[in-house]
Amino acid sequence: MQNLREEHDTMGTVLVPADRLWGAQTQRSLQNFAIGTETMPRSIIRAFAHLKKAAAQANWDCGKLSEERRDAIAAACGLIAGGELDGEFPLKIWQTGSGTQSNMNVNEVIAHLCAKAGVEVHPNDHVNLSQSSNDTFPTAMHIAAVCEMEERLLPAMERLEKTLRRLEEENRDVIKIGRTHLQDAVPLRFSQEISGWRHMLTVCREMAAGAVDALRYLALGGTAVGTGLNAPHDFGERTAVLLTRYTGHRFFTSPNKFHALTSKDGFVYAHGFLKALAADLMKIANDVRWLASGPRCGLGEIVIPENEPGSSIMPGKVNPTQCEAVTMVAVQVMGNDAAIGFAASQGNFELNVFMPVIAYNFLQSVELLSDVMDSFDRNCLQGLRANRQRMGELVDRSLMLVTCLTPLIGYEKAAECAKRAHQEGLTLRQAVLDSGLLTAEAYDRAVQADKMV
Protein backbone atom coordinates (compact mmCIF):
# COMPACT_ATOMS: atom_id res chain seq x y z
CA MET A 1 0.00 0.00 0.00
CA GLN A 2 1.33 3.44 -0.94
CA ASN A 3 2.53 5.62 1.91
CA LEU A 4 0.69 8.93 2.03
CA ARG A 5 1.06 12.18 3.91
CA GLU A 6 -1.39 14.99 4.54
CA GLU A 7 -0.94 18.33 2.78
CA HIS A 8 -3.27 21.28 3.07
CA ASP A 9 -4.21 24.36 1.09
CA THR A 10 -7.00 26.91 1.35
CA MET A 11 -9.54 24.28 0.34
CA GLY A 12 -8.61 21.74 2.98
CA THR A 13 -6.50 18.60 3.35
CA VAL A 14 -5.26 16.36 0.54
CA LEU A 15 -3.37 13.06 0.68
CA VAL A 16 -0.08 13.15 -1.27
CA PRO A 17 2.36 10.28 -1.92
CA ALA A 18 4.88 10.44 0.92
CA ASP A 19 7.89 10.14 -1.39
CA ARG A 20 6.90 13.13 -3.53
CA LEU A 21 7.96 16.75 -3.10
CA TRP A 22 4.81 18.38 -4.39
CA GLY A 23 1.92 19.60 -2.25
CA ALA A 24 -1.84 19.90 -2.15
CA GLN A 25 -2.46 22.02 -5.24
CA THR A 26 -0.34 19.78 -7.45
CA GLN A 27 -2.18 16.73 -6.15
CA ARG A 28 -5.55 18.34 -6.81
CA SER A 29 -4.51 19.05 -10.39
CA LEU A 30 -3.44 15.44 -10.89
CA GLN A 31 -6.85 14.30 -9.68
CA ASN A 32 -8.94 16.90 -11.50
CA PHE A 33 -7.14 16.95 -14.86
CA ALA A 34 -6.45 13.34 -15.80
CA ILE A 35 -6.61 14.33 -19.45
CA GLY A 36 -4.34 12.92 -22.13
CA THR A 37 -0.67 12.04 -21.76
CA GLU A 38 0.95 15.39 -22.62
CA THR A 39 2.77 16.85 -19.62
CA MET A 40 4.32 20.27 -19.13
CA PRO A 41 7.54 20.46 -21.20
CA ARG A 42 10.74 20.13 -19.19
CA SER A 43 12.00 23.35 -20.76
CA ILE A 44 9.10 25.19 -19.09
CA ILE A 45 10.04 23.69 -15.71
CA ARG A 46 13.67 24.70 -16.14
CA ALA A 47 12.54 28.20 -17.14
CA PHE A 48 10.47 28.36 -13.96
CA ALA A 49 13.54 27.39 -11.93
CA HIS A 50 15.51 30.32 -13.37
CA LEU A 51 12.52 32.60 -12.84
CA LYS A 52 12.02 31.64 -9.19
CA LYS A 53 15.71 32.08 -8.47
CA ALA A 54 15.68 35.54 -10.08
CA ALA A 55 12.51 36.46 -8.19
CA ALA A 56 14.05 35.40 -4.87
CA GLN A 57 17.14 37.51 -5.53
CA ALA A 58 15.06 40.51 -6.60
CA ASN A 59 12.86 40.18 -3.51
CA TRP A 60 15.97 40.09 -1.30
CA ASP A 61 17.34 43.15 -3.11
CA CYS A 62 14.10 44.94 -2.28
CA GLY A 63 14.18 43.88 1.36
CA LYS A 64 11.16 41.56 1.06
CA LEU A 65 12.92 38.19 1.57
CA SER A 66 15.54 37.02 4.06
CA GLU A 67 19.00 35.99 2.88
CA GLU A 68 18.45 32.49 4.31
CA ARG A 69 15.27 31.97 2.31
CA ARG A 70 16.80 33.49 -0.83
CA ASP A 71 19.71 31.07 -0.67
CA ALA A 72 17.49 28.06 0.06
CA ILE A 73 15.21 28.89 -2.86
CA ALA A 74 18.22 29.41 -5.15
CA ALA A 75 19.69 26.04 -4.17
CA ALA A 76 16.39 24.28 -4.84
CA CYS A 77 16.09 26.02 -8.20
CA GLY A 78 19.56 24.78 -9.10
CA LEU A 79 18.47 21.18 -8.58
CA ILE A 80 15.34 21.71 -10.68
CA ALA A 81 17.17 23.51 -13.50
CA GLY A 82 19.70 20.67 -13.61
CA GLY A 83 16.95 18.19 -14.45
CA GLU A 84 17.49 16.08 -11.33
CA LEU A 85 13.85 16.33 -10.22
CA ASP A 86 11.90 16.06 -13.48
CA GLY A 87 9.67 13.37 -11.97
CA GLU A 88 8.29 15.92 -9.53
CA PHE A 89 6.50 17.83 -12.31
CA PRO A 90 3.78 15.48 -13.59
CA LEU A 91 0.99 17.91 -14.47
CA LYS A 92 -0.82 17.78 -17.77
CA ILE A 93 -0.97 20.47 -20.40
CA TRP A 94 -4.77 20.24 -20.25
CA GLN A 95 -5.20 22.15 -16.98
CA THR A 96 -6.14 25.70 -16.14
CA GLY A 97 -5.45 27.95 -19.11
CA SER A 98 -3.30 30.30 -17.05
CA GLY A 99 -0.87 27.55 -16.04
CA THR A 100 -1.58 28.30 -12.37
CA GLN A 101 -1.25 24.69 -11.26
CA SER A 102 2.16 24.27 -12.87
CA ASN A 103 3.32 27.49 -11.23
CA MET A 104 2.15 26.10 -7.89
CA ASN A 105 3.74 22.71 -8.66
CA VAL A 106 7.09 24.49 -8.93
CA ASN A 107 6.39 26.60 -5.83
CA GLU A 108 5.47 23.53 -3.77
CA VAL A 109 8.49 21.49 -4.84
CA ILE A 110 10.83 24.38 -4.04
CA ALA A 111 9.19 24.86 -0.63
CA HIS A 112 9.58 21.15 0.22
CA LEU A 113 13.22 21.17 -0.89
CA CYS A 114 13.84 24.16 1.35
CA ALA A 115 12.14 22.38 4.24
CA LYS A 116 14.39 19.35 3.73
CA ALA A 117 17.34 21.75 3.98
CA GLY A 118 15.97 23.07 7.28
CA VAL A 119 14.56 26.38 6.02
CA GLU A 120 10.87 27.17 6.44
CA VAL A 121 9.57 28.49 3.09
CA HIS A 122 5.92 28.88 2.10
CA PRO A 123 5.06 28.20 -1.57
CA ASN A 124 2.86 31.30 -1.86
CA ASP A 125 4.27 33.72 0.68
CA HIS A 126 7.94 33.23 -0.20
CA VAL A 127 8.51 31.31 -3.46
CA ASN A 128 5.68 33.17 -5.21
CA LEU A 129 6.44 36.48 -3.51
CA SER A 130 5.78 39.53 -5.78
CA GLN A 131 4.40 37.21 -8.45
CA SER A 132 1.19 35.78 -9.88
CA SER A 133 0.71 32.73 -12.07
CA ASN A 134 -0.63 35.24 -14.59
CA ASP A 135 2.79 36.82 -15.03
CA THR A 136 5.06 33.88 -14.17
CA PHE A 137 3.65 31.39 -16.65
CA PRO A 138 3.93 33.68 -19.70
CA THR A 139 7.42 34.63 -18.50
CA ALA A 140 8.42 30.95 -18.29
CA MET A 141 7.00 30.42 -21.79
CA HIS A 142 9.16 33.19 -23.18
CA ILE A 143 12.29 32.04 -21.35
CA ALA A 144 11.85 28.45 -22.56
CA ALA A 145 11.14 29.51 -26.14
CA VAL A 146 14.20 31.77 -26.41
CA CYS A 147 16.52 29.24 -24.77
CA GLU A 148 15.33 26.33 -26.91
CA MET A 149 15.54 28.32 -30.13
CA GLU A 150 18.99 29.70 -29.45
CA GLU A 151 20.45 26.54 -27.91
CA ARG A 152 18.90 23.89 -30.15
CA LEU A 153 17.16 25.17 -33.26
CA LEU A 154 19.65 27.72 -34.56
CA PRO A 155 22.68 25.43 -34.15
CA ALA A 156 20.83 22.64 -36.00
CA MET A 157 20.06 25.05 -38.83
CA GLU A 158 23.71 26.07 -39.03
CA ARG A 159 24.87 22.43 -39.17
CA LEU A 160 22.44 21.65 -41.98
CA GLU A 161 23.43 24.78 -43.87
CA LYS A 162 27.11 23.81 -43.53
CA THR A 163 26.45 20.41 -45.12
CA LEU A 164 24.55 21.99 -48.01
CA ARG A 165 27.37 24.48 -48.54
CA ARG A 166 29.84 21.58 -48.81
CA LEU A 167 27.61 19.75 -51.31
CA GLU A 168 27.31 22.96 -53.29
CA GLU A 169 31.10 23.27 -53.56
CA GLU A 170 31.54 19.61 -54.49
CA ASN A 171 29.03 19.73 -57.36
CA ARG A 172 29.97 22.92 -59.20
CA ASP A 173 31.04 20.97 -62.30
CA VAL A 174 27.90 18.80 -62.49
CA ILE A 175 25.32 19.77 -65.14
CA LYS A 176 21.78 18.45 -64.80
CA ILE A 177 18.43 19.09 -66.36
CA GLY A 178 16.18 21.61 -64.68
CA ARG A 179 12.49 20.98 -64.08
CA THR A 180 9.52 23.31 -63.73
CA HIS A 181 5.91 22.12 -63.30
CA LEU A 182 7.48 18.61 -62.97
CA GLN A 183 8.37 18.89 -66.66
CA ASP A 184 11.75 19.16 -68.38
CA ALA A 185 13.28 22.63 -68.42
CA VAL A 186 16.66 24.11 -69.33
CA PRO A 187 19.87 22.82 -67.69
CA LEU A 188 21.56 24.16 -64.58
CA ARG A 189 24.44 23.18 -62.38
CA PHE A 190 23.61 20.79 -59.57
CA SER A 191 25.42 23.24 -57.28
CA GLN A 192 22.95 25.93 -58.32
CA GLU A 193 20.03 23.70 -57.36
CA ILE A 194 21.67 22.99 -54.00
CA SER A 195 22.34 26.71 -53.52
CA GLY A 196 18.58 27.26 -53.58
CA TRP A 197 18.17 24.78 -50.72
CA ARG A 198 21.08 26.30 -48.82
CA HIS A 199 19.83 29.85 -49.22
CA MET A 200 16.45 28.85 -47.77
CA LEU A 201 18.25 28.15 -44.49
CA THR A 202 20.28 31.35 -44.77
CA VAL A 203 17.11 33.40 -45.12
CA CYS A 204 15.40 31.47 -42.32
CA ARG A 205 18.31 32.20 -39.98
CA GLU A 206 17.86 35.89 -40.75
CA MET A 207 14.13 35.56 -39.99
CA ALA A 208 14.99 33.79 -36.75
CA ALA A 209 16.61 36.89 -35.27
CA GLY A 210 13.34 38.79 -35.41
CA ALA A 211 11.38 35.78 -34.17
CA VAL A 212 13.57 35.35 -31.10
CA ASP A 213 13.61 39.08 -30.38
CA ALA A 214 9.80 39.07 -30.28
CA LEU A 215 9.99 36.71 -27.29
CA ARG A 216 12.61 38.47 -25.19
CA TYR A 217 10.09 40.74 -23.42
CA LEU A 218 8.79 39.33 -20.14
CA ALA A 219 5.51 39.74 -18.28
CA LEU A 220 7.05 39.32 -14.82
CA GLY A 221 6.18 42.32 -12.67
CA GLY A 222 2.61 42.59 -13.93
CA THR A 223 1.26 40.16 -11.29
CA ALA A 224 -2.47 39.43 -11.58
CA VAL A 225 -3.85 41.87 -14.18
CA GLY A 226 -0.87 43.95 -15.31
CA THR A 227 -0.93 46.60 -12.59
CA GLY A 228 1.93 45.03 -10.62
CA LEU A 229 -0.08 44.82 -7.39
CA ASN A 230 2.03 43.44 -4.48
CA ALA A 231 5.29 43.69 -6.43
CA PRO A 232 8.04 46.32 -6.02
CA HIS A 233 7.85 48.94 -8.76
CA ASP A 234 11.13 47.82 -10.39
CA PHE A 235 10.63 44.09 -9.86
CA GLY A 236 10.25 43.38 -13.59
CA GLU A 237 13.43 45.24 -14.51
CA ARG A 238 15.44 43.55 -11.77
CA THR A 239 14.32 40.04 -12.66
CA ALA A 240 14.93 40.56 -16.40
CA VAL A 241 18.54 41.56 -15.69
CA LEU A 242 18.99 38.55 -13.42
CA LEU A 243 17.42 36.15 -15.91
CA THR A 244 19.79 37.39 -18.59
CA ARG A 245 22.68 36.61 -16.23
CA TYR A 246 21.39 33.19 -15.17
CA THR A 247 20.45 31.89 -18.62
CA GLY A 248 23.00 33.58 -20.86
CA HIS A 249 20.16 34.82 -23.10
CA ARG A 250 19.01 38.44 -23.39
CA PHE A 251 15.71 39.32 -21.72
CA PHE A 252 13.92 42.59 -21.03
CA THR A 253 10.89 43.54 -19.00
CA SER A 254 7.84 44.21 -21.13
CA PRO A 255 7.09 47.96 -21.28
CA ASN A 256 3.34 47.22 -21.09
CA LYS A 257 2.36 44.42 -18.74
CA PHE A 258 -1.32 44.58 -19.78
CA HIS A 259 -0.22 43.57 -23.26
CA ALA A 260 2.20 40.98 -21.89
CA LEU A 261 -0.49 39.16 -19.90
CA THR A 262 -3.27 39.07 -22.46
CA SER A 263 -1.55 39.02 -25.86
CA LYS A 264 0.44 36.11 -27.27
CA ASP A 265 1.23 37.82 -30.56
CA GLY A 266 4.97 37.22 -30.02
CA PHE A 267 4.36 33.47 -30.17
CA VAL A 268 2.22 33.81 -33.29
CA TYR A 269 4.95 35.86 -34.96
CA ALA A 270 7.79 33.59 -33.88
CA HIS A 271 5.93 30.43 -34.85
CA GLY A 272 5.35 31.96 -38.26
CA PHE A 273 9.12 31.69 -38.70
CA LEU A 274 8.98 28.04 -37.58
CA LYS A 275 6.26 27.40 -40.15
CA ALA A 276 8.37 29.06 -42.85
CA LEU A 277 11.31 26.84 -41.89
CA ALA A 278 9.05 23.78 -41.98
CA ALA A 279 7.82 24.75 -45.44
CA ASP A 280 11.39 25.09 -46.71
CA LEU A 281 12.43 21.77 -45.18
CA MET A 282 9.39 20.13 -46.77
CA LYS A 283 10.51 21.45 -50.15
CA ILE A 284 14.13 20.29 -49.71
CA ALA A 285 13.12 16.83 -48.51
CA ASN A 286 10.65 16.40 -51.37
CA ASP A 287 13.29 17.44 -53.92
CA VAL A 288 15.77 14.97 -52.45
CA ARG A 289 13.38 12.02 -52.53
CA TRP A 290 12.21 12.83 -56.06
CA LEU A 291 15.80 13.10 -57.31
CA ALA A 292 16.71 9.85 -55.53
CA SER A 293 13.65 7.97 -56.82
CA GLY A 294 14.39 4.61 -58.39
CA PRO A 295 16.81 2.96 -58.29
CA ARG A 296 15.94 1.89 -61.86
CA CYS A 297 12.53 3.26 -62.69
CA GLY A 298 12.69 6.76 -61.23
CA LEU A 299 14.74 9.90 -61.78
CA GLY A 300 17.80 8.42 -60.10
CA GLU A 301 19.86 11.61 -60.35
CA ILE A 302 21.23 11.35 -56.83
CA VAL A 303 22.12 8.54 -54.46
CA ILE A 304 21.30 8.82 -50.76
CA PRO A 305 22.38 6.56 -47.87
CA GLU A 306 20.61 3.24 -47.44
CA ASN A 307 19.89 3.14 -43.72
CA GLU A 308 17.40 0.32 -43.21
CA PRO A 309 15.21 -2.16 -45.13
CA GLY A 310 12.26 -0.39 -46.67
CA SER A 311 9.69 -3.12 -47.00
CA SER A 312 8.43 -6.11 -45.04
CA ILE A 313 7.40 -7.86 -48.27
CA MET A 314 9.69 -6.58 -51.08
CA PRO A 315 13.25 -7.85 -50.51
CA GLY A 316 16.02 -5.36 -51.17
CA LYS A 317 13.74 -2.32 -51.22
CA VAL A 318 15.16 0.83 -49.61
CA ASN A 319 13.11 3.98 -49.07
CA PRO A 320 13.89 7.70 -48.50
CA THR A 321 12.80 7.47 -44.88
CA GLN A 322 14.70 10.49 -43.61
CA CYS A 323 12.88 12.64 -46.16
CA GLU A 324 9.58 11.20 -44.97
CA ALA A 325 10.41 12.07 -41.36
CA VAL A 326 11.16 15.66 -42.39
CA THR A 327 7.86 15.99 -44.22
CA MET A 328 5.87 14.55 -41.31
CA VAL A 329 7.49 17.00 -38.91
CA ALA A 330 6.66 19.82 -41.33
CA VAL A 331 3.01 18.78 -41.33
CA GLN A 332 2.95 18.69 -37.51
CA VAL A 333 4.51 22.16 -37.29
CA MET A 334 1.92 23.55 -39.70
CA GLY A 335 -0.82 22.06 -37.53
CA ASN A 336 0.79 23.54 -34.42
CA ASP A 337 0.79 26.92 -36.13
CA ALA A 338 -2.97 26.77 -36.58
CA ALA A 339 -3.48 25.79 -32.93
CA ILE A 340 -1.25 28.61 -31.70
CA GLY A 341 -3.05 31.16 -33.87
CA PHE A 342 -6.46 30.12 -32.58
CA ALA A 343 -5.25 30.04 -28.96
CA ALA A 344 -3.59 33.44 -29.16
CA SER A 345 -6.82 35.00 -30.40
CA GLN A 346 -8.51 34.12 -27.10
CA GLY A 347 -7.04 36.85 -24.89
CA ASN A 348 -10.21 37.81 -23.06
CA PHE A 349 -9.97 41.00 -21.01
CA GLU A 350 -6.78 40.94 -18.88
CA LEU A 351 -5.55 37.37 -19.49
CA ASN A 352 -5.05 34.77 -22.19
CA VAL A 353 -6.21 31.42 -20.82
CA PHE A 354 -4.79 29.16 -23.55
CA MET A 355 -1.17 29.48 -22.48
CA PRO A 356 -0.27 25.84 -21.76
CA VAL A 357 -1.39 24.68 -25.21
CA ILE A 358 0.49 27.56 -26.86
CA ALA A 359 3.64 26.67 -24.93
CA TYR A 360 3.32 22.96 -25.67
CA ASN A 361 2.79 23.37 -29.40
CA PHE A 362 5.49 26.01 -29.80
CA LEU A 363 8.11 24.03 -27.92
CA GLN A 364 7.15 20.82 -29.70
CA SER A 365 7.73 22.57 -33.03
CA VAL A 366 11.16 23.76 -31.90
CA GLU A 367 12.10 20.31 -30.61
CA LEU A 368 10.87 18.43 -33.69
CA LEU A 369 12.50 20.82 -36.16
CA SER A 370 15.80 20.75 -34.26
CA ASP A 371 15.86 16.97 -34.06
CA VAL A 372 14.73 16.32 -37.61
CA MET A 373 17.26 18.72 -39.11
CA ASP A 374 20.07 16.92 -37.30
CA SER A 375 18.69 13.52 -38.33
CA PHE A 376 18.25 14.58 -41.98
CA ASP A 377 21.74 16.05 -42.01
CA ARG A 378 23.47 13.10 -40.34
CA ASN A 379 21.56 10.23 -41.96
CA CYS A 380 20.85 11.60 -45.43
CA LEU A 381 22.46 14.79 -46.70
CA GLN A 382 25.98 14.12 -45.46
CA GLY A 383 26.06 10.96 -47.60
CA LEU A 384 24.24 12.39 -50.65
CA ARG A 385 26.12 12.15 -53.96
CA ALA A 386 25.32 12.98 -57.55
CA ASN A 387 24.75 10.22 -60.10
CA ARG A 388 26.74 12.04 -62.75
CA GLN A 389 26.17 9.47 -65.46
CA ARG A 390 22.40 9.60 -65.06
CA MET A 391 22.38 13.40 -64.96
CA GLY A 392 24.40 13.52 -68.18
CA GLU A 393 22.08 11.07 -69.94
CA LEU A 394 19.00 13.11 -69.07
CA VAL A 395 20.60 16.36 -70.18
CA ASP A 396 21.47 14.80 -73.54
CA ARG A 397 17.91 13.51 -73.98
CA SER A 398 16.18 16.74 -73.02
CA LEU A 399 14.18 18.55 -75.67
CA MET A 400 14.35 21.80 -73.75
CA LEU A 401 17.89 22.37 -74.94
CA VAL A 402 16.04 23.82 -77.90
CA THR A 403 15.57 26.98 -75.83
CA CYS A 404 19.06 28.16 -76.71
CA LEU A 405 18.13 27.98 -80.42
CA THR A 406 15.30 30.52 -80.25
CA PRO A 407 17.64 33.48 -80.91
CA LEU A 408 18.79 31.67 -84.08
CA ILE A 409 15.61 30.13 -85.53
CA GLY A 410 12.79 31.80 -83.56
CA TYR A 411 10.38 30.50 -80.91
CA GLU A 412 7.86 28.90 -83.27
CA LYS A 413 10.41 27.01 -85.38
CA ALA A 414 12.18 25.86 -82.24
CA ALA A 415 8.88 24.57 -80.83
CA GLU A 416 8.16 22.69 -84.09
CA CYS A 417 11.54 20.94 -83.88
CA ALA A 418 11.03 19.97 -80.24
CA LYS A 419 7.55 18.59 -80.90
CA ARG A 420 8.69 16.64 -83.95
CA ALA A 421 11.59 15.13 -82.03
CA HIS A 422 9.22 14.04 -79.24
CA GLN A 423 6.51 12.66 -81.54
CA GLU A 424 8.88 10.77 -83.86
CA GLY A 425 11.35 9.61 -81.24
CA LEU A 426 14.21 11.61 -82.72
CA THR A 427 17.02 13.39 -80.96
CA LEU A 428 16.64 17.15 -80.90
CA ARG A 429 19.76 17.44 -83.02
CA GLN A 430 18.34 15.19 -85.71
CA ALA A 431 15.02 17.03 -85.79
CA VAL A 432 16.75 20.39 -86.22
CA LEU A 433 19.10 19.12 -88.90
CA ASP A 434 16.20 17.46 -90.80
CA SER A 435 14.37 20.80 -90.78
CA GLY A 436 17.27 22.39 -92.63
CA LEU A 437 17.21 25.36 -90.26
CA LEU A 438 20.80 24.86 -89.03
CA THR A 439 23.90 23.03 -90.14
CA ALA A 440 25.45 20.42 -87.88
CA GLU A 441 28.30 22.79 -87.06
CA ALA A 442 25.92 25.62 -86.17
CA TYR A 443 23.82 23.32 -84.01
CA ASP A 444 26.80 21.93 -82.13
CA ARG A 445 28.16 25.42 -81.59
CA ALA A 446 24.85 26.66 -80.14
CA VAL A 447 23.72 23.65 -78.11
CA GLN A 448 26.27 23.25 -75.33
CA ALA A 449 24.71 22.53 -71.95
CA ASP A 450 27.63 23.86 -69.95
CA LYS A 451 27.26 27.23 -71.71
CA MET A 452 23.56 27.41 -70.81
CA VAL A 453 24.00 27.47 -67.02
Q: Walk along the chain (453 residues) and give the pLDDT tens digit of each residue.
A: 689 999 999 999 999 999 999 999 999 999 999 999 999 999 999 999 999 999 999 999 999 999 999 999 999 999 999 999 999 999 999 999 999 999 999 999 999 999 999 999 999 999 999 999 999 999 999 999 999 999 999 999 999 999 999 999 999 999 999 999 999 999 999 999 999 999 999 999 999 999 999 999 999 999 999 999 999 999 999 999 999 999 999 999 999 999 999 999 999 999 999 999 999 999 999 999 999 999 999 999 999 999 999 999 999 999 999 999 999 999 999 999 999 999 999 989 999 999 999 999 999 999 999 999 999 999 999 999 999 999 999 999 999 999 999 999 999 999 999 999 999 999 999 999 999 999 999 999 999 999 999
Distance separating the N- and C-terminal Cα atoms of the chain: 76
- The verdict on whether 345 is a catalytic residue reads no
List, for residues 354-391, the tens digit of each pLDDT value.
Answer: 999 999 999 999 999 999 999 999 999 999 999 999 99
Residue 170: how many CB atoms within 10 A of its CB?
15
Comparing 148-170+188-388 with 398-451, is the CATH topology the same? no
Decide: 382 and 165 in contact? Cβ < 8 Å.
Answer: no
63's CB contacts (< 8 A; 6+ apart) are none
Per CATH, the homologous superfamily of domain 4-129 is Fumarase/aspartase (N-terminal domain) (1.10.275.10)
Which conformational region is residue 439 in: left (phi greater than 0), alpha (psi within -120 to 50 degrees), or beta? beta
pLDDT, residue 2, reads 82
Residue 396: how many CB atoms within 10 A of its CB?
13
- The verdict on whether 191 is a catalytic residue reads no
Per CATH, the homologous superfamily of domain 398-451 is Fumarase/aspartase (C-terminal domain) (1.10.40.30)
pLDDT, residue 347, reads 82
240's CB contacts (< 8 A; 6+ apart) are 218, 220, 251, 252, 253
In the chain, domain spans: 4-129, 148-170+188-388, 398-451
CATH number of 148-170+188-388: 1.20.200.10
Active-site annotation holder among 8, 112, 181, 199: 181
Q: What is the pTM of this model?
A: 0.96
Active-site annotation holder among 43, 66, 311, 312: 311
List, for residues 227-241, the tens digit of each pLDDT value.
Answer: 999 999 999 999 999
pLDDT, residue 162, reads 98
